[in-house]
């Protein structure tokens, strides 16, 4: 302290600069920001490149598949046109007789047939689980003995509603005496799927899942011709005629083809847009 009483302060050591050297830290921060920005850009570009490669690979794999499905549907449409045209042409041919169906081998499906003979009222089958307009019922198949004595055929007379109680079977009256009727010839085939195989039932009529030719031959001890005639509306003994299931029409197949080709076009356009956009961003 000075003698004159005035307080004098001597300079001491300078306190450290907590912020570091002036100008040094901002430069380092800028470098770090630039480095992070470059890393982010490189990472983003790498991700875009990987996504683009994945999209191109996806398009290369699925474009041929989608186009192939479209071509397949067009081919199916052409096949269905041929099937329907052949079916219609068969129906315009001269009707076949029951004797011809019983004796001559060949493909007579969808041909017109004219039968002369007798319904056998005590030899009838009920094809189970047939519905019509929301109601459960049966299709009735009746054995038809040809008047010439050449054999017997199966006649599908149509649909009949089922009684309220399962254990009760419907009454199945048939026209008596000599009958002349016409119908469409069908094959007696096992369907693609069956709900459940039912055991043989005693008595008549017999309830079955489908027209099983071998089982019907065993039931009657007769040699039944391997054809079923579906009688047309208004024929003797005809019941309610069910609308026949028709195969998927050519128009439906063409609609599916348009959908497949449309998906292929969308995939192609999307891939091209993605590639062009990526190249512009790089430029």
- Phi and psi (nearest 5°) for 108? -105, 10
**Over 50: is that where the pLDDT of 2 sits?**
no
What is residue 85's predicted lDDT score, i.e. its pLDDT?
Answer: 87
* pLDDT of the residue at 106: 80
Closest residue by Cα to residue 208 from 222, 221, 194: 194
Taking CA atoms, 113 is separated from 45, 155, 157, in Å, by 75, 11, 14
Question: Can you spell out the DSSP letters for 117-139?
Answer: EEEEEEEEEEEEEEEETTEEEEE
pLDDT tens-digit map of 223-273: 898 899 999 889 999 999 888 766 678 899 999 999 999 999 999 998 898
The per-residue pLDDT for 169 is 92
pLDDT (0 to 100) of residue 75: 95
Q: What is the pLDDT of residue 101?
A: 86
More confident residue, 174 or 27: 174
7 or 234, which is more confident?
234
pLDDT of residue 40: 59
- Mean per-residue pLDDT of the chain: 83
- pLDDT score at 48: 72
**276 has pLDDT over 90:** no
Task: Find, among 235, 234, 233, 239, the residue nearest to 173 by Cα.
Answer: 239
- Provide the pLDDT for residue 115: 94
Q: Which pLDDT score, from 0 to 100, does residue 246 have? A: 66
State pLDDT tens for residues 69-111.
Answer: 999 999 999 998 988 888 888 888 889 998 888 887 788 888 9
- The pLDDT tens digits for 175-203 are 999 999 999 999 887 766 666 667 777 88
Q: Do 161 and 136 form a contact (C-beta atoms < 8 A)? A: yes
């Amino acid at each position: 302290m000075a003698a004159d009483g005035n307080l004098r302060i001597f300079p001491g050591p300078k306190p450290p600069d907590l912020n570091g050297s002036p100008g040094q830290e901002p430069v380092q921060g800028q470098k770090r920001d630039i480095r992070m920005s470059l890393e982010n850009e490189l990472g983003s570009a790498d991700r875009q490149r990987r996504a683009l490669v994945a999209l191109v690979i996806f398009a290369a794999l699925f474009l041929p598949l989608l186009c192939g499905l479209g071509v397949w549907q067009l081919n199916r449409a052409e096949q269905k046109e041929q099937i329907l045209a052949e079916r219609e042409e068969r129906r315009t041919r001269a009707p076949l007789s029951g004797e011809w169906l019983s004796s001559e081998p060949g493909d007579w499906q969808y041909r017109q047939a004219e039968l002369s003979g007798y319904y056998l009222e005590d030899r009838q089958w009920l094809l189970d689980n047939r519905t019509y307009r929301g109601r459960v019922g049966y299709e009735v198949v009746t054995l038809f003995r040809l008047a010439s004595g050449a054999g017997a055929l199966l006649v599908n007379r149509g649909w009949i509603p089922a009684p309220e109680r399962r254990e009760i079977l419907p009454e199945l009256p048939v026209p008596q005496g000599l009958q002349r009727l016409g119908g469409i010839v069908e094959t007696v085939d096992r369907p693609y799927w069956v709900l459940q195989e039912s055991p043989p039932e005693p008595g008549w009529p017999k309830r079955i899942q489908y027209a099983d030719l071998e089982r019907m031959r065993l039931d009657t001890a007769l040699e039944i011709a391997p054809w079923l005639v579906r009688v047309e509306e208004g024929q003797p003994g005809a019941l309610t005629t069910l609308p026949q299931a028709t195969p998927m029409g050519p128009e439906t197949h063409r609609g599916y083809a348009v959908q497949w080709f449309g998906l292929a076009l969308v995939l192609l356009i999307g891939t091209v847009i993605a590639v062009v956009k990526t190249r512009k961003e790089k430029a």
